């Protein structure tokens, strides 16, 4: 059965202006596994109750304190017991609105939890989950955003944006402290060296990497490394690395006044023309156009 597609934009016109919207389900009950897709990125914050997150052929238990982030167009649903769950849905338009500037300490966390563009989807991040110690803290911030958007008192846009920024900081803290649970969990057939190689590319993306060096580190042949890495992530080794560099450049273009050449070099690109071509191929516009669009937000 084909998953039904839900147009969130039709229900929340403010998404076009703010880039985010929230919806509270104080007692969400769903005992039917009915998959659907969204036209935005979805963050589901579980405050109370128990349920299961279904993602195509995968199922994950979820309860209070879990935050799940579902990629663009990913088939999913949340099923519950008869008692239901208290959850917040946070809808994000990251194609038209970059995340707000966050502390530099989270530079490596933001691209891991937030799909900045549909082109960066892979087998691991089609849905990402992490645990928070104080879910009511997130619930309070989302409740305030919801109130600001409904009442629209003086300064409500700035108030909503400020709360949203603090909400993302809290999410990044938890993801950094507790780690991420990927949508493609490591199985016994996935050797640990695969994740080690991915982490090297993820954290040291500004450096050049040779397949021979990565294969030696993993203790396998270059050919075997390439085949297993693609099966694991859905991307080639250098395709994954390129995605990571472009995402870093997107954040720098949004959150700094640095010259575009400096951004390119600092994100691992030694050839500015190659950076511009790669960026436009992935995002659909040049780096300078991307920066101008974000400055106009």
Mean pLDDT of 70-77: 88
Do the domains 4-182 and 192-295 sit in the same CATH topology, yes or no? no
Strand ranges inside 132-209, DSSP E? 181-182
Kindly report, residue by residue over 177-230, the tens digit of the pLDDT.
999 887 765 554 678 899 999 999 999 999 999 999 999 999 999 999 999 999
Instruction: Report, at the CATH architecture level, how domain 4-182 is classified.
Output: Sandwich (2.60)
Half-sphere exposure of 239 (CA within 13 A, CB side): 14
> What pLDDT does residue 187 have?
54
Top CATH class of 192-295 equals mainly alpha
Distance, in Å, from the CA atom of 242 to the CA atom of 238, rounded to the nearest integer, reads 6
Domain ranges within the chain, ordered by starting residue? 4-182, 192-295
For a pLDDT cut of 70, what percent of the chain falls above it?
96
Average pLDDT of the residues in 79-89? 95
pLDDT tens for residues 98-118? 888 899 899 889 988 988 888
* pLDDT at residue number 72: 86
Rounded to 10°, the helix 287-295/272-283 angle is 60
8 A C-beta contact, residue 51 and residue 26: no
Query: Beta-strand (E) ranges in the chain?
Result: 4-6, 20-28, 36-38, 41-48, 50-55, 58-63, 66-70, 77-80, 85-92, 127-131, 181-182
Name the one residue in this structure whose structure tokens are 């951004």. 263
Please determine, for residue 1, whether its predicted confidence score (pLDDT) is greater than 70. no
Residue 295: pLDDT band by 50, 70, 90 thresholds? low
Residue 23, CA distances (Å) to 48, 87, 143, 162, 220 in order: 15, 9, 9, 18, 48
Three-class SS state of 7? coil
Six token digits for residue 208: 């050049």
Q: Summarize the confidence of residues 144-162 as an average pLDDT.
A: 96
Residue 233 is predicted with a pLDDT of: 92
pLDDT at 29: 95
pLDDT the model gives residue 139: 97
pLDDT for position 184: 66
**Which residues, 6+ apart, have CB-to-CB distance to 259 below 8 Å?**
none
Q: How far apart are CA 153 and CA 147, in angstroms?
A: 10
Order of strands across the sheet that contains 41-48 = 20-28, 85-92, 41-48, 66-70, 127-131, 181-182
Q: Rounded to an integer, what distance in angstroms lies between the CA atom of residue 246 and that of residue 286?
A: 12
């Amino acid at each position: 059965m084909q998953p039904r597609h839900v147009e969130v934009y039709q229900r929340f016109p403010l998404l076009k202006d703010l880039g985010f919207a929230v919806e509270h389900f104080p007692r969400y009950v769903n005992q039917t596994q009915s998959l659907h897709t969204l036209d935005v990125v979805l963050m589901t914050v579980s405050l109370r109750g128990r349920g299961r997150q279904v993602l195509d052929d995968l199922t994950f238990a979820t309860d209070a304190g879990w935050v799940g982030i579902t990629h663009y167009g990913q088939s999913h649903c949340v099923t519950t017991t008869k008692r239901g769950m208290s959850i917040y849905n946070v809808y994000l338009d990251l194609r038209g609105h970059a995340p707000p500037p966050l502390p530099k300490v989270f530079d490596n966390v933001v691209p891991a939890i937030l799909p900045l563009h549909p082109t960066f989807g892979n087998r691991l991040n089609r849905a990402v989950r992490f645990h928070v110690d104080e879910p009511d803290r997130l619930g309070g911030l989302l409740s305030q955003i919801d109130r600001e958007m409904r009442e629209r008192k003086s300064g409500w846009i700035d108030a909503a944006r400020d709360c949203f920024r603090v909400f993302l900081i809290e999410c990044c803290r938890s993801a950094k402290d507790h780690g991420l649970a990927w949508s493609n969990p490591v199985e016994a057939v996935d050797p640990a060296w695969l994740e080690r190689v991915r982490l090297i590319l993820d954290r040291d993306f500004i450096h050049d990497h040779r397949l021979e060096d990565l294969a030696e580190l993993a203790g396998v042949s270059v050919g075997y490394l390439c085949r297993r890495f693609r099966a694991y992530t859905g991307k080639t080794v250098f395709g994954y690395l390129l995605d990571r560099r472009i995402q870093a450049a997107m954040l720098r273009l949004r959150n700094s006044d640095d010259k575009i050449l400096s951004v390119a070099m600092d994100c691992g690109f030694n050839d500015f023309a190659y950076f511009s071509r790669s960026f436009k191929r992935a995002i659909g516009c040049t780096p300078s156009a991307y920066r101008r669009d974000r400055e106009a937000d």
